[in-house]
């Protein structure tokens, strides 16, 4: 939810930390701050709002350029309104320690109460300021900061990724993680700590993913990893990141979102790469596991919609009954009806760090049910904890609104359906070949179609930008896309939108239709086409305006037809989805909204 970075090395640290924060801003952008030691005193410079407000403050802080160790934070508010006083870093009462923190300390009120009794005072409403004072309090009992940190972390419950600076040892970083991502970047004569790799990728590709319960202490030359509970030293080899900085930059596009939409043909090729061989899908990660009798797909947001779409294919092609559930609901079920012999839990997450989805994964593991993670981020918590992992290979997704990640998840779900279809003999070899041939045609088809899709999206956005509400309708596999279309429109343009199964309209929602309430209908030519045409006519009879996204030679009148290339079957979704994304993108851009960083959101929801 928040982005944290720490740098210790031979270069001016503040510009590196500010640059790193730019790459982390997608994680939260209510306020930001930087901390460092100058003339034996801890300094914090913080600003409400976006990072540029903080950068402007540094125009007046020329002395800050001399320091070579600093920490920084970009915030998505959990405790306390987005004001400067709640921005990080937070100082301990004696001003010896400064902390940046991502996560939530659940018992912070009790700890705060105890500290108040010991005369500690708090300048913010945050749990983070409580934590830094708890560490300071432990310093009085323990003989050094490492032991004090370890002792404090035994008392703090919840989730955290933290980075600490010590005024009395100003060229050292202390970091720790529990249920929130934190990565160590190992450079030459310089070291980094950050919530995500792009923050330091310009400087090093050598990384160590911190695991839950780790503490890391680093200066510019050395680092040591400890187990927080008993301070035993840990050896963990570094890994090499394969992608480069270009993948995390806009590459000439106006926004990351637009770039990521246009990357989708390549994303499809990359997800398929190494997965197809002689008319078969290869998923060696699953070969040792039995074909499940029932599959439970658990996810949040866009990943949940990908799961709903995958349900159709897995049920249809592999004949495995699938239940798809929102992680925040699944995790609080009083009784989970899961059977380790029959069931499998598939968790889907772009980031691999979504708190609710991880909680669902852990519950399934406790019941000894086989678990499979579908995620994008290498080394994420999901990737480490799931029994088996399928990586979606979409590359870094920076825009807060998820686009290419969903496409990559859907490709892997299609592969899963074909893989299980073959193993359970519910698909004939010829059927598999036919589907694979269509999958392989997708990258070129989409690449050719995208410019035309973009210009149609632009035209329609200008016509519909004044709408206050929108319906998105679909049937069958297109219902999940309708939900996704509505989510994209609301999160980007702040226009109210609802996705509905088209057949449900007449059970209530149609009452809302009037000339100012448009409907976006997904109507590919398939078995349900005639049904959805009837729904369109019903809306027309109530003077509703309609956009029809279709690959059929339509005989519909008085609607805005948006025609896409013809492809048979549910893989048409790979041509429908980019249209929905582009429409929302253009609506938001036309309305002057912040496309890559919509209000109130953050990319990775690592808190409940």
300 makes contact with ligand M6R (CB under 6 A): yes
In angstroms and rounded to an integer, the radius of gyration of the C-alpha atoms of the chain is: 25
129 makes contact with ligand M6R (CB under 6 A): no
Q: Take residue 136 and report the two structure tokens written for it.
A: 């300071």
580 makes contact with ligand M6R (CB under 6 A): no
- CB-based burial label for 248 (10 Å; 0-12, 13-18, 19+): buried
- Spatial distance between the Cα atoms of 400 and 260, rounded to a whole number of angstroms: 11
Residue number with CB closer to ligand M6R (452 or 608): 608
Residue number with CB closer to ligand M6R (93 or 349): 349
On whether the CB atoms of residues 587 and 464 are closer than 8 A, the answer is yes
130 makes contact with ligand M6R (CB under 6 A): no
Unique residue bearing structure tokens 């998923």: 283
Instruction: Quote the least distance from Cβ 136 to ligand M6R, whole Å.
Output: 34
Residue number with CB closer to ligand M6R (33 or 307): 307
> Of 302, 328, 493, 572, which one interacts with ligand M6R (CB under 6 A)?
302
On whether the CB atoms of residues 7 and 16 are closer than 8 A, the answer is yes
551 makes contact with ligand M6R (CB under 6 A): no
Residue number with CB closer to ligand M6R (31 or 328): 328
- Spatial distance between the Cα atoms of 18 and 2, rounded to a whole number of angstroms: 14
Q: Take residue 235 and report the two structure tokens written for it.
A: 């050896």
Report in angstroms the alpha-carbon separations of 117 from 99, 111, 123, 401. Answer: 22, 10, 16, 45
Question: Of the ranges 20-28, 295-303, 449-457, 472-480, which one interacts with ligand M6R (CB under 6 A)?
Answer: 295-303
401 makes contact with ligand M6R (CB under 6 A): yes
295 makes contact with ligand M6R (CB under 6 A): no
Q: Take residue 211 and report the two structure tokens written for it.
A: 């695991």
Q: How many residues form the binding site for ligand M6R (CB under 6 A)?
A: 16
Q: Which of 172, 259, 488, 603 is catalytic?
A: 603
> Of 301, 370, 373, 518, which one interacts with ligand M6R (CB under 6 A)?
301
Report in angstroms the alpha-carbon separations of 369 from 295, 318, 346, 363. Answer: 11, 20, 10, 9
381 makes contact with ligand M6R (CB under 6 A): no
Question: Of the ranges 36-44, 137-145, 299-307, 536-544, which one interacts with ligand M6R (CB under 6 A)?
Answer: 299-307
369 makes contact with ligand M6R (CB under 6 A): no
Site for ligand M6R, residues 333 to 362, rule: CB under 6 A: 349-351, 354, 357
Report in angstroms the alpha-carbon separations of 508 from 410, 500, 504, 516. Answer: 31, 11, 7, 18
Our answer to whether residue 2 is catalytic in this structure is yes
92 makes contact with ligand M6R (CB under 6 A): no
- CB-based burial label for 280 (10 Å; 0-12, 13-18, 19+): middle
Residue number with CB closer to ligand M6R (301 or 499): 301
Instruction: Quote the least distance from Cβ 579 to ligand M6R, whole Å.
Output: 16
| Nearest C-alpha neighbor of 292 from the set 323, 320, 330 | 320
Residue number with CB closer to ligand M6R (195 or 350): 350
% helix / strand / coil in the chain, to the nearest 5? 40, 25, 35
124 makes contact with ligand M6R (CB under 6 A): no
263 makes contact with ligand M6R (CB under 6 A): no
586 makes contact with ligand M6R (CB under 6 A): no
Residue number with CB closer to ligand M6R (134 or 300): 300
Instruction: Quote the least distance from Cβ 275 to ligand M6R, whole Å.
Output: 21
20 makes contact with ligand M6R (CB under 6 A): no
- Spatial distance between the Cα atoms of 592 and 493, rounded to a whole number of angstroms: 9
298 makes contact with ligand M6R (CB under 6 A): no
268 makes contact with ligand M6R (CB under 6 A): no
Q: Which of 2, 163, 300, 375 is catalytic?
A: 2
| Nearest C-alpha neighbor of 71 from the set 42, 100, 95 | 100
Instruction: Quote the least distance from Cβ 515 to ligand M6R, whole Å.
Output: 30
> Of 402, 408, 551, 572, which one interacts with ligand M6R (CB under 6 A)?
402
What DSSP line would sit under 478-531, residue for residue?
HHHHHHHHHHHHHHHH--EEEEEEGGGGGGTGGGG-STTS-EEEE--SSTTHHH
Please report, to the nearest 10 degrees, the dihedral formed by the alpha carbons of residues 323, 327, 330, 332 taken in order.
Answer: 180
Please report, to the nearest 10 degrees, the dihedral formed by the alpha carbons of residues 11, 12, 14, 18 taken in order.
Answer: -50
Q: State the binding string over 487-526 for ligand M6R (x if CB under 6 A, else -).
A: ----x-----------------------------------
Residue number with CB closer to ligand M6R (72 or 373): 373
Q: Which stretches of the chain bind ligand M6R, using CB under 6 A?
A: 300-303, 349-351, 354, 357, 400-402, 491, 601, 604-605
Annotated active-site positions, please? Answer: 2, 603
């Amino acid at each position: 939810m928040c982005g944290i970075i720490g740098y210790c090395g031979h270069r001016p640290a503040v510009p590196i930390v500010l640059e790193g924060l730019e790459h982390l801003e997608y994680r939260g952008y209510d306020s930001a701050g930087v901390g460092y030691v100058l003339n034996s005193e801890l300094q914090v410079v913080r600003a409400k709002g976006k990072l540029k407000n903080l950068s402007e403050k540094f125009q007046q802080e020329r002395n800050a350029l001399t320091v070579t160790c600093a920490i920084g934070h970009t915030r998505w508010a959990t405790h306390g309104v987005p004001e400067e006083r709640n921005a990080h870093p937070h100082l301990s009462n004696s001003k010896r320690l400064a902390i940046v923190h991502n996560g939530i300390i659940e018992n912070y009120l009790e700890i705060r109460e105890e500290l108040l009794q010991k005369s500690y005072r708090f300048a913010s409403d945050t749990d983070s300021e409580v934590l830094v004072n708890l560490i300071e309090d432990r310093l009085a009992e323990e003989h050094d900061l490492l032991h004090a940190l370890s002792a404090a972390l035994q008392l703090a419950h919840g989730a955290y990724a933290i980075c600490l600076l010590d005024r009395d040892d100003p060229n050292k970083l202390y970091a720790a993680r529990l249920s929130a991502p934190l990565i160590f970047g190992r450079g030459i004569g310089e070291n980094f700590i950050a919530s995500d790799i792009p923050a330091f990728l310009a400087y090093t590709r050598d990384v160590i993913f911190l695991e839950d319960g780790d503490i890391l202490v680093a200066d510019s030359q050395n680092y040591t990893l400890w187990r927080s509970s008993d301070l035993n030293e840990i050896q963990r080899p570094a890994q090499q990141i394969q992608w480069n900085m270009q993948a995390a930059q806009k590459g000439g596009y106006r926004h990351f979102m637009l770039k990521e939409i246009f990357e989708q043909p390549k994303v499809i090729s990359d997800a398929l790469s190494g997965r197809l061989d002689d008319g078969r899908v290869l998923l060696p990660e699953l070969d040792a596991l039995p074909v499940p009798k029932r599959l439970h797909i658990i996810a949040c947001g866009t990943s949940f919609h990908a799961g709903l779409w995958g349900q159709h294919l897995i049920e249809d092609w592999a004949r495995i009954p699938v239940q798809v559930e929102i992680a925040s609901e699944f995790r609080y079920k009083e009784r989970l009806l899961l059977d380790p012999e029959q069931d499998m839990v598939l968790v889907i997450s772009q980031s691999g760090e979504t708190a609710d989805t991880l909680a669902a994964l852990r519950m399934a593991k406790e019941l000894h049910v086989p678990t499979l993670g579908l995620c994008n981020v290498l080394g994420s918590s999901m990737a480490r904890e799931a029994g088996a992992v399928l990586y979606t290979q979409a590359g870094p997704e920076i825009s807060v609104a998820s686009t290419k990640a969903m496409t990559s998840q859907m490709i892997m779900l299609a592969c899963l359906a074909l893989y299980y279809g073959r193993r359970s003999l519910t698909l004939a070899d010829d059927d598999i070949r036919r589907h694979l041939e269509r999958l392989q045609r997708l990258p070129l088809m989409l690449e050719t179609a995208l410019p035309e899709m973009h210009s149609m999206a632009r035209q329609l956005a200008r016509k519909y930008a004044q709408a206050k509400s929108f319906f998105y309708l679909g049937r069958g596999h297109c219902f999940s896309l309708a939900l996704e279309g509505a989510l994209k429109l609301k999160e980007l343009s702040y226009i109210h939108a609802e996705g509905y199964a088209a057949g449900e309209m007449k059970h209530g929602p149609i009452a809302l239709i009037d000339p100012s309430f448009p409907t976006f209908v997904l109507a590919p030519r398939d078995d349900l086409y005639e049904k959805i045409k009837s729904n369109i006519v019903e809306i027309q009879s109530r003077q509703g305006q309609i956009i029809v996204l279709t690959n059929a030679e339509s005989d519909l009148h008085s609607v805005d037809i948006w025609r896409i290339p013809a492809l048979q079957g549910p893989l048409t979704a790979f041509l429908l989805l980019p249209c929905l994304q582009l429409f929302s993108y253009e609506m938001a851009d036309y309305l002057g909204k912040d496309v890559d960083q919509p209000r109130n959101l953050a990319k990775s929801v690592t808190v409940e």
